[in-house]
Structure 1
Amino acid sequence: MSEHGSPRHQRAQAKQDPTEWHGQRIVTETDLGAVFGEDDADRHRRVPLRKIFHGVVLVLLVGLVTAAVYFAVGITRGDISISMGAPETAAPEPTPTCPAGPFDYQDPSSVNVNVYNSTSMDGLATTAATQLRGRAFAVREVGNRPVGRTGMTAIIVSGEAGRDNAFTLQRTIPDTIYVTDERKDRTVDVVVGSGYAGVIPPERVDITPAGLTCAPKDGTPAPAASPTAP
């Protein structure tokens, strides 16, 4: 056996090689770099992506805060208004010049009427609706409708097309006030107040053509009427 192949020679060489220990190879920093070098490079590439993502999030948050401040200031100043729920029907304004007519008394069965209670008295609208049905009026809706006046008998509300019908109701319910609105059909609203005492007896109804009454006897203007859910 040659001296280079002898066990003694191999042990001597092993002692001279710093990467081996008792026949086992020692993992060096170079070996670790070769294995994990690619992962470190990927990690370094991901760092700028995280910074970009954080920057975008920060910009969005700043934008949201700015928009919220602007919205709050707009609401406070009245530049921005919020409408909740379904849009409300615009409150009719008192008729500036009372329609002089003359208007003709109509067959009550042809008059579609909605009856509303403007008071805290339970059942007042139901009572009025029953009396109007007894006179053959076509009562449709019965509910509540607050107005800015107390002690009145009733407010009669219609559009221009329903003025004959409104006149018919004014002749049926005494001491009522006429108010116009923008509706296009011929329906009429009757808003009863605490002064409501019923309808005029049939034999006393004056069916002579005439104008509408737009102010109570004391001469004060008619209040606007704004509907609410029944």
Structure 2
Amino acid sequence: MRESSCSMTEQDSPRRQRAQAKRDPTEWHGHRIVTETDLGAVFEEDDAARRRRSSMRRIRHGVVLVLLIGLVAAAVYVALGIARGDISIGASEPSPEPTSTCPAGPFDYQDPSAITVNVFNSTTIDGLATTAADQLRGRAFAVRDIGNKQVGPTGMTAIIISGEGGRANAFTLQRTIPDSLYVADEREDRTVDVVVGTSYAGIIPPEGIDITPAALRCAGEGQPTPTPAPTAP
């Protein structure tokens, strides 16, 4: 009887399975049927991914927009700063103006008898240096050398040349010779050279000399500085 009962159970098992399959709407002959619930779950996952992607795009767009606004604000700030002069750009800075090499002083008027002077003629006028030397001797200057020396440009009254130590002496001579211009050189003593030009017309009378301390007078801005040519050996 037990064997018969087991045999019937084994025979009934496929029937039960088929009966259960008929009752389960998601299966058909052993195959899984995709239901609306399954499709909804799949599309729900797609919608979530789409929302995540959309959210990331909005975040990226927001970051880009903030950066663009920052760049525009920086550009406006720089433009206003340049317009007001608060900000300067290296490439647009003007070249620095050349500094003047003319000694500012002030220098005191010196005793002419303590000043050694060399007088030179830069013109083709014979005896001009001798004439100037005699006039300076008459004013008590100690004239040492008299000769010729070329300078450029021509047409000036006189140039006064000295080293740093002779600037006060040069100032004294410049107050004595009207319209003369000062030129510095590298000599180390206090001697002064006077180079007279074609416009030289003599020295100032003693009563007309201004002994007030002041600066030396050099060539003005835009005017060529008289330069003595080297003396031939």
Q: Work out the percentage of aligned pairs sharing the same amino acid.
A: 75
Counterpart of 1:84 in structure 2 is none
**Contact 1:144 1:227 (C-alpha < 8 Å) held by counterparts:** no
Which residue, 164, 189, 197 being the options, matches 1:193? 197
Q: Which runs of 5+ in 2 are unaligned?
A: 1-98
CA distance change for structure 1 residues 117 and 227 in 2, over 3 Å: closer, same or farther?
farther
Q: What corresponds to 1:228 in structure 2?
A: 231
Higher Cα radius of gyration:
2
Q: 3-state SS of the aligned residue for 1:126? A: helix
Instruction: Tell whether 2:127 aligns with 1:123.
Output: yes
**Number of residue-to-residue matches in the alignment:** 135
Structure 1 position 227, deviation (Å): 4.3
Shift of 1:221: 2.8
Mark the CA change 1:136 to 1:227 in structure 2 (over 3 Å): closer, same or farther: farther
Q: For the aligned residues, what is the CA RMSD?
A: 1.7
The separation in 2 between residues aligned to 1:200 and 1:185, in whole angstroms, is 26
The residue number in structure 2 matching 1:36 is none
- Helix, strand or coil: the match of 1:179? strand
SS at match of 2:167: helix
Once the two structures are superposed, the pairs formed by residues 50-129 of structure 1 within 5 Å of their partners are 96-129=100-133
Deviation at 1:96, TM superposition (A): 4.3
What's the offset of the Cα at 1:201? 0.3
Q: CA shift at 1:228, angstroms?
A: 2.5
**Do residues 174 (structure 1) and 178 (structure 2) align?**
yes
Does the CA-based 8 Å contact 2:152-2:229 persist in structure 1? Answer: no
Letter in 1 for 2:136: L
Asked if the contact 1:144–1:229 (Cα under 8 Å) also holds between the matched residues in 2, the reply is no
Give the AA of the match of 2:201. Answer: A
Q: Could you tell me which residue of structure 2 aligns to residue 164 of structure 1? A: 168
Classify 1:126/1:227 alpha carbon distance in 2 versus 1 (closer, same or farther; 3 Å): farther
**C-alpha separation in 2, matches of 1:154 and 1:227:** 17
- Under a length normalisation based on structure 2, what TM-score does the superposition of the two structures give? 0.55
Question: Partners in 1 of 2:179 and 2:118 — Cα distance?
Answer: 18
For the residue of structure 2 that corresponds to 1:143, the secondary structure is strand
Compared CA separation, residues 137 and 227, structure 1 to 2 (3 A) = farther
Q: Structure 1, unaligned stretches of length 5 or more?
A: 1-94
How far did 1:223 drift? 1.9
What is the CA-CA distance between 1:148 and the residue it aligns to?
1.2
After superposition, the C-alpha distances for 1:177-197 in whole angstroms (9 at most, x for unaligned) are 100000000000000000000
Q: Which residue of 1 aligns with 2:153?
A: 149
Structure having greater relative contact order (Cα 8 Å, sep ≥ 6):
1
Contact preservation (8 Å) 1:155, 1:176: yes
Letter in 2 for 1:224: T
